[in-house]
Amino acid sequence: MWVRPAGLLLGMLADALLGDPRRGHPVAGFGRVAGALERRWYADRRGAGAGYAGVLVGGVIALGVLAERGARRPLPGVLVTAAATWAVLGGASLAGHGAALARELTDGDLAAARARIPSLCGRDPAALDAAGMARAGTESIAENTSDAVVAPLFWGAVAGVPGLLGYRAVNTLDAMVGHRSPRYARFGWAAARLDDLANLVPARVAALLFAALAPVVGGSPRAAVAAWRRDAAAHPSPNAGPVEAAAAGALGVTLGGRTVYAHGAEDRPRLGAGPSPEPADLERAARLSRWVGWTSAALAALLSSRIVEP
């Protein structure tokens, strides 16, 4: 009963203390493999993209099954689960970059802030002023708290090491090929829909946690829930909408507006009610993200102890 919960909590602690591995990050390695396979596999068809995603995600899940079966005794089981959890989480890095960006914007160091933006999101730094970077950072922290912390912990609780690795593979492929660019509109369709499905429950758990924990940063749970109910459906993503709207309400700010990515610009709906985020709000978002992360880890440990109970 305690192997999976202990592994999840130990992996969360490793992420908090050590951050992302500096060399040989498994997710980066998966990305290189996926990129190499895409160069050979690519065709402007949904079927080709579905096969591509299926092979990569299925292969990673199979590796997770083998790793878990090879660690049947309690201590190896805890260590394998912890290592997989550490590899797929990104909460410490996310909150750290968000807090650092807030400091750089407060100090007026826009060059350093622009250099940091790619570590948080895929927007064009040259197109962002200080206010744009504060908004981009706040939105990224909200969405990626769900994608990089809550969702992997949820799938780790439900499905162990295969769930951890499989989710991270799905989410990485969505980031690589799932966006609405001419090249990936059809080839990336399967990866994007698979990511939508994998995040359906975790995103709403994350939104609930943002609302429930709003008071730790001086926010209102009622305002967070109101923003979620009022604004989330207007967002083009069925999962980012609830999370970003709840975070906007919890922080008392307005998110959304024109957003410039490498593949083009999008006009995002307004989420929340209040002023645009300032550096102080970005720092609050980073602090709230840490609270959401640790609370989701505790809930994942509890859930996994119930799932594996005889």
Residue 310, pLDDT > 60, answer no
Q: What is the pLDDT of residue 309?
A: 46
* Distance of alpha carbon 55 from the chain centroid: 22
- Return d(Cα 55, Cα 79) in angstroms, integer: 27
Question: Which of 120, 99, 143 minimizes the C-alpha distance to 247?
Answer: 143
Percent of the chain past pLDDT 70, that is, above it, reads 96
Tell me: the pLDDT tens digits for 238-274?
999 999 999 999 999 999 887 766 656 677 889 999 9
- Return d(Cα 64, Cα 76) in angstroms, integer: 14
Helices (H), 199-259: 200-212, 221-231, 240-251
Tell me: the pLDDT tens digits for 98-120?
999 999 999 999 999 999 999 88
Residue 197, pLDDT > 50, answer yes
Q: What is the pLDDT of residue 151?
A: 98
Q: Average pLDDT for residues 267-282, to the nearest whole number?
A: 92
Q: Across all residues in the chain, what is the average pLDDT?
A: 93
Q: What is the pLDDT of residue 307?
A: 77
Q: With the C-alpha atoms ordered 208, 297, 200, 257, is the resulting torsion angle positive or negative?
A: positive
Show me where the domains of the chain are located.
3-200+293-307
